[in-house]
Structure 1
Amino acid sequence: MPEAVHYRVSMLRPHSHLFEVEATFPAGPDTLEALLPVWTPGSYLVREFARQVQDMSATGPGGEPLPVLRVDKRTWRVQAGGRAVTLRYRVYANELTVRTSHLDGSHGYFNGATLFLYTEATRGLEHLVTVEAPEGWKPFAALERRGEAFVAPDYDELVDSPFEVGPHTPLSFTAAGVPHEVVVWGDTMPDAGRLCFDLQRICEAQARLFGGLPMRRYLFLVYLTDKGRGGLEHKASTALLFPRAGLQNARGWEDFLTLAAHEYFHLWNIKRVKPKALVPFDYSQENYTSLLWAFEGATSYYDNLFVLRAGLMGANRYLTRLGETLSALHATPGRKVQTLAEASLVSWVKHYRPDEHSPNSAISYYLKGEVVAALLDLELRRATSDARGLDDLMRLLWERYGDESGVPEDGVEAAASELAGKDLSAFFDRAVRSTEELDYSIFSHVGLEVHFRPRESPSDKGGVPVRPKGESRQKGWLGVTTKGSSTVATVLDGSPAQEAGLYVDDELVALDGWRVDAAGLLSRCDEKNPGETVLITVFRRDRLLEVPVVLGQKPADAAWLARVDKPTDAQKAAYQAWLGAPWEEPG
């Protein structure tokens, strides 16, 4: 049996934020080249993890020191002479995100790509990890155990199995016959019974779609913080970052469940059924594919659906959330600039590196991908008289590519056309490969129509047909977004603000001589009429300026879905087949 790669991760000085790592590679070639990934699967950005590595040294099997040469940003070379080599190094970890690593006096969390050096020669070998932690701390990971060691069959699975170490008491439940654990870090513990009950419902609903679960156990790692929201999927686990205050209200709890449902659905859609461009992972550079919309966008479509299917969200609420997604899409000018395919391809330099111009130049493949997945679902249903839908496409892709062989770039479109029984290239040309506005007429198949209206306030997310109080009138529009209490964050392309010469990072002082903060500026513009001129006073690089702006008409970009007035029996039946809910939902 081939030897394994052994790691020992120590965190006995947690206040230093330094993980101490030993990596022992079995005897091999004369020259050992140890590498660290520049990115982690599921997060398509080169993050340069090697910048946090320090104090590298090497020894032979007898403890004799060996010289180490750093070749480039991610490579260390050791003249091993065919012997086993142990590398010792430390990794600074003080960034609490689901994509990085974090160590302090309360816990240690690490993603494998940030800590574990590898070699191409040993990448396919078994990898074992032992953890040395402060007294009272326990390690948690989705990997199998062999004594004190966690065991990964190869490096790819090791990288895909984050570790959480701390004084935690895990929660547990069983879904579809598979044990699940939930480890929570943070000052506020949610309602444990409700958390497990709701997660179990969602997991079982997803298992029913695919006929069971593809792993032997699953681990939820939940990080409750003061701010921030995000998740990262793994082959048998997920890390979820969520604001602790959000769990104290119904909308926040719902949002947490959709986040958990999203990452869990990735068990199939990206972790096993994945773009061929990611097979195998190239940890040294970007891995390009135009299909991220189908894996992230479709998963975003399903995250709400599975909260609905689990009985934890009503159909009306689901339609409201879908309307909010449509509203977010239509508030993004970049939808007219970047195609969905391109957004997927260049996520490495666009989606994960947003700046003040991003809303004008790019579109999120999560956001537009979710809408396109909904439209594709309805397109398949209409083409097959509701005999087939997106569920069937997911199952077909699972059947064909669940062995991790990889979906070719045209694989999703080809499978969809096969299910529809007709060529869907016109649909994909418009929805994925062009910047043309999406065609929402397909919603009529389920008796719905998409309507638009101006937003009533800066906090208006759309989703519902809000009526203005008092007399309806057109409102003045400036065309900026703000950050903090007084700073311009984005100037929207073609807006009155852009035409007048307001800039990103202008510090807002007054409107028509009256002091305003960011919220006050937008609400005062709402009170004006289109065509009125307002005088906006700002500090720009410490210089006081007055900028006259002729307000425009507020765009109708808040969307909502409404039932048609006189639905046919076929529309009602299609609606029920789609959402699993009666046409008339109480409340």
Structure 2
Amino acid sequence: MSKKIILSLAVATFFWSCKTAQTTPKIDVVDVSIDLVNVKDDKVMVSIIAPSFTSETATFHIPKTVPGTYSEDDYGRFIENFKAFDTKGNGLRVTKIDENSYSISDATKLSKVTYLVNDTYDTEGGGGFGKSEDVFSPAGTNIKAGENFMLNTHGFVGYFAGKTETPYKMTVTHPANLLGVSAMVDLDNSDTKDVFNSSKYATLVEMPLMYSKPDFTSFMVDDMEIIISVYSPTGKYTAKDITPNMETMMRAQKNFLGAFNSTKKYAILLYLSDMQAKDAKGFGALEHPTSTTVVMPEMMGLEMLQEQLKDVVSHEFFHIVTPLTVHSNEIQYFDFNNPQMSEHLWMYEGVTEYFANLFQVNQGLIDETEFFERMAQKIAQASEMNDKMSFTKMSKNVLNAPYKDQYVNVYQKGALIAMCLDIIIREESNGQKGILTLMQDLSNEYGSKKAFKDDELFAKITELTYPSVGEFLKTYVAGETPIPYADYFAKMGVTEAKIEVAGNPFLKGQTPYITVDPTTKEIMILPSIELNEFMTSMGLKNGDKILAVNGTNYNLDNIYDLVLGSANWKDGEAMTVKIKRDGKEQVLKGKIKMPKEVREGYQSTNEAKKAIKEAWLKG
């Protein structure tokens, strides 16, 4: 998932001090206080000293949606007991307009508003607060008194209509044993209070914070400071476990991006879920201009966790290119409660996802075989979506049916659109330019503070590249014609092939080999499915109930641990499996033989085009 616009971290532009003379003018500011100490019933109190109003009524909003989520999450449903007061502490009349909005009477007398905030993690996996859809965890909030607070600020802080450009001051009081990590600058030296200034509301909500027991690392990549903060509920992982791979990855990204090195400080906030009933279950990440929030299951093996972080964090970091630097008016002037979506998700998400894969082969983190395998998987997944739906039309209407059901295709077909554009530009320029060149040219044309108009982008891209690029965009992105991927691969000397890849012991593609007996919670191998190499080599049979593996008991409660953890198993490792067969328990012993799958893929076959292929993947 994804977000925003490169803004300087020098948000300490605005200072508030004691009044020194009667003639000092009042500075209009939205002054927010968040209390993480006095948490009651798993709720946090927020108080906001209001700016001045000349109108008789004021409207206060909690966001309906935020950039990068492409869904209407109604964060107002997590707010309760909203009150407004005048300077003497008298209550003002408040009328709730809708799920996310309140109207306040006698606004000229308004001094402050207060309300309680519920967190979103508690509601995942079962709806809650009047809506069945979960908030995507990296865009959500967590309140675990004395232990962890995930402050995606859009879930805690609202805004007054007409005052979104007013500066914000945010004070967070917190337990002394918890450290708040973010990309912001704390202006207070206290162990129990943090103070942050922001130029406007849109900037503040791009600045997530995570409070937890101090566990962080920091390192420099050229002139950029990277901060990694980790919350691991059982202490299974620390920031030091994560850092080496992340540092390698981010150095490679910086090398790949070259000119797009605009931010000086970048925070990665990693929340590891314990997978219990009331905890985060939406795994992935959400980008901000100077940070990324990441949610992953704590039970993941370190190797798989590192691989997942490499893919999702690199995706979010590449949003520095788009939409944080290159974006339309819809992004520049984002309306949190009446969002107007852009036509160009193929660029915001597709180019970003493509870069997250391309940089890895470009910088030697994966080989070209794996890169082709990843693109082949995206082709297969995109083929399961509506391949004839106009991508620009889907993007513009992504919040509504039937288009919102196609949103996930931005990570599949969107990346493939970017790949095809890259190939066209490489071919036309004899390998000298690619899609990164185009994005650099668009950045020079627009940049973070200048937006383009949606309907003018294709013409600008064509002007900066070649007519063939414009024809591709018209036919395959705005149009409804499926992309002939093989034709574009062929331009680089790459052809279709059968590729053998590693499989999962308990999954065949997306089809499970196992099920669960709901009465006993026991895990059972499906009675009629054809067994894979792992199962036959271990002596497992259809209908066997798996009770334990290598001494660890498994059932419905931790089946996710078994399936996900099995991806880390290695050929030749010794294994014992405790089973129940025909009502009798027994233990099977053997050595692991991981299953293999044959998939449709691609490989380089044309030596005459080796040079242009190398320019594409390594240039």
Report the TM-score range of the alignment, normalised by the length of the smaller protein: 0.7 to 0.9
Asked if the contact 2:499–2:602 (Cα under 8 Å) also holds between the matched residues in 1, the reply is: no
Instruction: Give the whole-Å Cα distance in 2 for the aligned partners of 1:19 and 1:316.
Output: 50
Q: Does 1:93 align with 2:119?
A: yes
Q: Give the CA deviation at 1:154.
A: 0.4
1:174-213: CA deviation from partner (whole Å, max 9, x where unpaired): 1121211111112355474563333334334433424252
Task: Give the 3 Å change call, closer, same or farther, for CA 246–371 of structure 1 in structure 2.
Answer: farther
2:302 aligns with one of 239, 242, 248: 248
Counterpart code for 1:241? V
Task: Give the 3 Å change call, closer, same or farther, for CA 252–335 of structure 1 in structure 2.
Answer: farther
2:349 aligns with one of 281, 285, 296: 296
For these two proteins, the number of residue pairs brought into alignment is 494
Q: Does 1:221 align with 2:272?
A: no
Q: Give the CA deviation at 1:401.
A: 2.0
Q: Give the CA deviation at 1:400.
A: 1.7
Q: Does 1:342 align with 2:393?
A: yes
Secondary structure of 1:91 counterpart: strand
Task: Give the 3 Å change call, closer, same or farther, for CA 283–374 of structure 1 in structure 2.
Answer: same
1:367 aligns with one of 409, 412, 424: 412
Counterpart code for 1:124? E
Q: Does 1:26 align with 2:77?
A: no
Q: Give the CA deviation at 1:161.
A: 1.1
Asked if the contact 2:70–2:398 (Cα under 8 Å) also holds between the matched residues in 1, the reply is: yes
Task: Give the 3 Å change call, closer, same or farther, for CA 245–416 of structure 1 in structure 2.
Answer: farther
Asked if the contact 1:18–1:90 (Cα under 8 Å) also holds between the matched residues in 2, the reply is: yes
Q: Which residue of 2 is the match for residue 37 of structure 1?
A: 63
Q: Give the CA deviation at 1:153.
A: 0.8
Q: Give the CA deviation at 1:307.
A: 3.0
Task: Give the 3 Å change call, closer, same or farther, for CA 520–223 of structure 1 in structure 2.
Answer: farther
Instruction: Give the whole-Å Cα distance in 1 for the aligned partners of 2:342 and 2:333.
Output: 13
Q: Which residue of 1 is the match for residue 243 of structure 2?
A: 196
Task: Give the 3 Å change call, closer, same or farther, for CA 87–297 of structure 1 in structure 2.
Answer: same
Asked if the contact 1:380–1:419 (Cα under 8 Å) also holds between the matched residues in 2, the reply is: no
Counterpart code for 1:224? L
Q: Which residue of 2 is the match for residue 102 of structure 1?
A: 142
Q: Which residue of 2 is the match for residue 531 of structure 1?
A: none
Q: Give the CA deviation at 1:411.
A: 4.5
Q: Does 1:262 align with 2:308?
A: no
Asked if the contact 2:378–2:412 (Cα under 8 Å) also holds between the matched residues in 1, the reply is: yes
Instruction: Give the whole-Å Cα distance in 2 for the aligned partners of 1:402 and 1:521.
Output: 58
Task: Give the 3 Å change call, closer, same or farther, for CA 350–389 of structure 1 in structure 2.
Answer: farther
| Greater relative contact order (CA < 8 Å, ≥ 6 in sequence) | 2
Q: Give the CA deviation at 1:434.
A: 3.8
Instruction: Give the whole-Å Cα distance in 2 for the aligned partners of 1:454 and 1:206.
Output: 29
What fraction of aligned residue pairs are identical, expressed as a percent? 20
Q: Give the CA deviation at 1:217.
A: 1.2
Counterpart code for 1:62? K
Asked if the contact 1:339–1:435 (Cα under 8 Å) also holds between the matched residues in 2, the reply is: yes
Q: Which residue of 2 is the match for residue 152 of structure 1?
A: 198
Instruction: Give the whole-Å Cα distance in 1 for the aligned partners of 2:514 and 2:165.
Output: 48
Asked if the contact 2:85–2:111 (Cα under 8 Å) also holds between the matched residues in 1, the reply is: yes
Instruction: Give the whole-Å Cα distance in 2 for the aligned partners of 1:428 and 1:306.
Output: 23
Q: Give the CA deviation at 1:371.
A: 1.1
Task: Give the 3 Å change call, closer, same or farther, for CA 452–351 of structure 1 in structure 2.
Answer: farther
Q: Give the CA deviation at 1:453.
A: 8.6
Counterpart code for 2:389? Q
Counterpart code for 2:269? L
Aligned alpha-carbon RMSD (Å): 3.2
Counterpart code for 2:197? V
The correspondence of residues 472-491 of structure 1 with structure 2, limited to 5 A, is 485=515
1:307-358: CA deviation from partner (whole Å, max 9, x where unpaired): 334443233322222222222223x1x333423223322321359965xxx7
Task: Give the 3 Å change call, closer, same or farther, for CA 61–215 of structure 1 in structure 2.
Answer: farther
Query: TM-score by structure 2 length?
Result: 0.73
Instruction: Give the whole-Å Cα distance in 1 for the aligned partners of 2:114 and 2:365.
Output: 49
Query: TM-score by structure 1 length?
Result: 0.76
Task: Give the 3 Å change call, closer, same or farther, for CA 520–238 of structure 1 in structure 2.
Answer: farther
Q: Which stretches in structure 1 are left out of the alignment for 5+ residues?
A: 462-479, 488-506, 508-515, 526-555, 582-587
The correspondence of residues 394-413 of structure 1 with structure 2, limited to 5 A, is 394-413=439-458
Counterpart code for 1:119? F
Q: Give the CA deviation at 1:38.
A: 0.4
Instruction: Give the whole-Å Cα distance in 2 for the aligned partners of 1:212 and 1:65.
Output: 50
Q: Does 1:177 align with 2:223?
A: yes
Q: Give the CA deviation at 1:524.
A: 8.4
Q: Which stretches in structure 2 are left out of the alignment for 5+ residues?
A: 1-24, 123-136, 189-193, 276-280, 533-596
Asked if the contact 1:323–1:559 (Cα under 8 Å) also holds between the matched residues in 2, the reply is: yes
Instruction: Give the whole-Å Cα distance in 2 for the aligned partners of 1:289 and 1:212.
Output: 23
Counterpart code for 1:577? A
Which one is further off, 18-27 or 310-319? Answer: 310-319
Task: Give the 3 Å change call, closer, same or farther, for CA 170–80 of structure 1 in structure 2.
Answer: farther
Instruction: Give the whole-Å Cα distance in 1 for the aligned partners of 2:87 and 2:528.
Output: 69
Counterpart code for 2:283? R
Instruction: Give the whole-Å Cα distance in 2 for the aligned partners of 1:146 and 1:411.
Output: 42
Q: Does 1:138 align with 2:191?
A: no
Task: Give the 3 Å change call, closer, same or farther, for CA 62–310 of structure 1 in structure 2.
Answer: farther
Q: Which residue of 1 is the match for residue 293 of structure 2?
A: 239
Q: Does 1:449 align with 2:492?
A: no
Instruction: Give the whole-Å Cα distance in 2 for the aligned partners of 1:27 and 1:64.
Output: 17
Q: Give the CA deviation at 1:272.
A: 2.8
Task: Give the 3 Å change call, closer, same or farther, for CA 199–310 of structure 1 in structure 2.
Answer: farther
Counterpart code for 2:398? S
Q: Does 1:329 align with 2:382?
A: yes
Task: Give the 3 Å change call, closer, same or farther, for CA 364–483 of structure 1 in structure 2.
Answer: farther
Asked if the contact 1:261–1:307 (Cα under 8 Å) also holds between the matched residues in 2, the reply is: no
